[in-house]
């Protein structure tokens, strides 16, 4: 158990819908990272938050957004969903804003299926 | 975009044998990390090696790093069926305060009892 929790575990929704994925980092970790894992694209970094502020952006679509709240939990919002958004979405946390010294701890993921 | 490229893509061995996976990357790195993923589950951090280190051990794991060749290898000795998983190398996106990892496509290891 990494100490990172993600809800829900599974999500099935229709195209065009909007969903929210939730992540609680390990106690004391200030950074939250979101990754998407799909068969064709592999593991892709989406976005990072550090202590409530956006720190880095990766291959995140404009239809996707995220935020980190004062209690450090984070939410990833996916809207106007398309079939191609079906994937595993992982949240990871680390103590600092950079991974120079620290590994990242991954949650169990949310499996999103868009039908 | 992928930074690391693991080789081989798939590896099948018998229990007790050693498994070696290789990773090549493209740009300068702060560190390189190896993660394990059991089928459809979260990633588990295995080992982190800094750019100024050449070799690191953790239990049955041995990681080497050659920054001149931009490559790393992960050796699992005396493999067990429980080692069956996908293994990913990941490099730190170097630059500023960014800390996101860039993953390779992974090596799928199958250890047969």
Best residue of B3, B32, B99 to probe chain A, by most A CBs closer than 10 Å: B99
Q: How far is B38 from B86, CA to CA, in rounded Å?
A: 6
Task: Average the pLDDT over A67-86 and give the result.
Answer: 97
Residues A78-113: pLDDT tens digits? 999 999 999 999 999 988 755 556 788 999 999 999
Q: How far apart are CA B55 and CA B62, in angstroms?
A: 7
Tell me if chain A has a CB within 8 Å of the CB of B106: yes
Average pLDDT on A56-66 reads 92
Asked if B104 has any chain A CB less than 8 Å from its own CB, the reply is: yes
In the predicted model, residues of chain B with pLDDT beneath 70 are: 1-4, 93-99
**pLDDT by residue (tens digit) across B29-53?**
888 999 999 987 889 999 999 889 9
* Nearest CB to B103; choose among A4, A42, A107: A42
- DSSP bridge pairs for A110: A89
pLDDT at B93: 65
Q: What is the average per-residue pLDDT within A19-46?
A: 92
The reported pLDDT for the residue numbered A99 is 52
Query: What's the rounded mean pLDDT across residues A44-53?
Result: 92
Question: Which pLDDT score is estimated for A2?
Answer: 87
Query: What pLDDT sits at residue B79?
Result: 97
pLDDT at B92 (0 to 100) = 75
């Amino acid at each position: 158990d990494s100490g990172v929790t993600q809800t829900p575990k599974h999500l099935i929704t229709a195209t065009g819908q909007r969903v929210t994925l939730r992540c609680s980092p390990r106690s004391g970790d200030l950074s939250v990272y979101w990754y998407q894992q799909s068969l064709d694209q592999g593991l892709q970094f989406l976005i990072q938050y550090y202590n409530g502020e956006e720190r880095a952006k990766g291959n995140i679509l404009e239809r996707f957004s995220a935020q980190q709240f004062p209690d450090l939990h984070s939410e990833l919002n996916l809207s106007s969903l398309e079939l191609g958004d079906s994937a595993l979405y992982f949240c990871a946390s680390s103590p600092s804003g950079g991974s120079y010294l620290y590994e990242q701890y991954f949650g169990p993921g949310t499996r999103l299926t868009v039908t | 975009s992928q930074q690391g490229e693991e080789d081989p893509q798939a590896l099948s061995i018998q229990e007790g044998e050693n498994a070696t996976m290789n990773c090549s990357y493209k740009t300068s790195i702060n560190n390189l990390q190896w993660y394990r993923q059991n089928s459809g589950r979260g990633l588990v951090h295995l080992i982190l090696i800094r750019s100024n280190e050449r070799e690191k051990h953790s239990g049955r794991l041995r990681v080497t790093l050659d920054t001149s060749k931009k490559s790393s290898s992960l050796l699992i000795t005396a493999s067990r069926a429980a080692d069956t998983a996908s293994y990913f190398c990941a490099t730190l996106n170097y630059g500023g305060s960014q800390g996101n990892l860039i993953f390779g496509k992974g090596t799928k290891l199958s250890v047969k009892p």
